[in-house]
Amino acid sequence: MSYTPTALERAAAQPVPEASELAGEFTRLPHPNPATPEEREAKMAKMLFGKDFSDHMAHATWTPDEGWHNKQVEPYGPFALDPAAAVLHYAQEVFEGLKAYRHDDGSVWTFRPSYNAARLNHSARRLAIPEFDPRDFMASVVGLVQADKEWVPSASGSSLYLRPYIFASDPFLGVAAANRYEYVLIGSPSGAYFSHGFQPINVWVEPHYHRSGPGGMGDVKTGGNYAASLLPKVHAHDEGYDEVLFLDGATNMNLDELGGMNVFVVMDDGTFRTPKLTGNILPGCTRSSILQLLRSQGRTVTETTIPLAELLADIKSGKVAEMFACGTAAVVTSIGSLTGEIAATGEKFHVEIPNSEITKQIYDELTAIQLGHAEDKFGWLYRLA
């Protein structure tokens, strides 16, 4: 079956200059007191996701007169931010997430960074934020990771998680697109996302709240979507569930995605289904990679509307073999159960999906490419250092 790549996939396939060409495009201001090797090792031993940060950060500023300027890799540290800064009031910000992996020979690589560069701009356009040149995006990643190479861990399942973001720093309380923005990239050494390893997760299917709605911002990576997901996540955690699956905001009947991951269903005939990109779903890089991987293996994957009622019936009848969620942080994680309530009828449900062999295979195939253990057939890897 022929397949038309998305705009993000086309952007991600563009050639990127090598790291040696980009190194130095962000001026390095070395940290006067970087962590000692002992301090760094202590933090790297714990590797709690997103809690500790490397010595430096990349930073650039946008103003109408100068565009993006002051591109530098500087010591990691707090900003002086005016209390009127627009982001604090109207949440004009966008972000990304990618990882730097250490390969067995000590070299450091990242995975489809141009996808993240393109998606950052896709998000920026929606929030009336000036676009950030993908070359600068790449140069910031190269600059930070080369400065903080020692912070890229080598333990199994670990990486330096990279968080690029742009926010409105203009001190102005009018509801308007700002006149000053900061681009920042920080790095956090991270172990495996789920502390209990490759264990199926129990998912709460949220009957009332949505993370986004038609015409909203569901297909872009902006803080507001995540803020909207927190209350249902707190409720779900209180009840013992690991994650929340959101339904579409228009009908409250069809699967959208988890708070931070896309979702796939594996049918017992060996075909796969995933919610189609409706504009309410984040076009995940991992989702795109899995689609490409499966299609290259001749497997049938349908991007379609997946009604919850149909999914539950298919799980009960055994037509669904497995279900999994995917995203940069967790890569691929098996969904072991779905629990919730049909909002229209109040009917409660709990279904279990016991198998995860195919999910584990996909996890293994994808991580083997990321770690340099399998051939990079799709040209997804980029050497940073």
Ligand X SMILES: Cc1ncc(COP(=O)(O)O)c(C=O)c1O
Q: Is the dihedral of CA 124, 125, 127, 130 positive or negative?
A: positive
DSSP notation for 93-131: EEE--EEEEE-TTS-EEEE-HHHHHHHHHHHHHHTTPPP
Residue 356 touching ligand X (CB under 6 A): no
Q: Which residue is nearest to ligand X (CB)?
A: 284
Residue 249 touching ligand X (CB under 6 A): no
Total residues at the site for ligand X (CB under 6 A)? Answer: 12
Residue 261 touching ligand X (CB under 6 A): yes
Residue 328 touching ligand X (CB under 6 A): yes
Question: In what helix (H) or strand (E) does residue 332 lie, and over which residues does it extend?
Answer: strand 331-341
Q: Which is nearer to ligand X, 34 or 284 (CB)?
A: 284
29-38 contact pairs (CB < 8 A, 24+)? 29/72, 29/73, 29/74, 29/75, 30/56, 30/75, 30/147, 31/55, 31/56, 31/75, 31/76, 32/75, 37/150
Site for ligand X (CB under 6 A): which residue of 114, 286, 333, 334?
Answer: 286
Q: Which is nearer to ligand X, 257 or 365 (CB)?
A: 257
Region class of 47: left (phi > 0), else alpha (psi between -120 and 50), else beta: left
Report the alpha-carbon distance of residue 144 to residue 74 in Å, rounded. Answer: 9
Q: Per CB under 6 A, which region of 141-149, 175-183, 259-267, 336-344 contacts ligand X?
A: 259-267
Q: Which is nearer to ligand X, 9 or 170 (CB)?
A: 9
Q: Which is nearer to ligand X, 308 or 330 (CB)?
A: 330
Site for ligand X (CB under 6 A): which residue of 34, 249, 260, 275?
Answer: 260
Closest CB 43 distance from ligand X, rounded Å: 24
Q: Per CB under 6 A, which region of 28-36, 277-285, 309-317, 361-369 contacts ligand X?
A: 277-285
Closest CB 327 distance from ligand X, rounded Å: 3
Report the alpha-carbon distance of residue 57 to residue 87 in Å, rounded. Answer: 20
Residue 97 touching ligand X (CB under 6 A): yes
Q: Which is nearer to ligand X, 120 or 178 (CB)?
A: 120
Site for ligand X (CB under 6 A): which residue of 143, 284, 336, 340?
Answer: 284
Residue 242 touching ligand X (CB under 6 A): no
Residue type (1 letter), 56? H
Report the alpha-carbon distance of residue 266 to residue 294 in Å, rounded. Answer: 11
Site for ligand X (CB under 6 A): which residue of 74, 136, 148, 257?
Answer: 257
Residues that bind ligand X (CB under 6 A): 97, 257, 260-262, 282, 284-287, 327-328
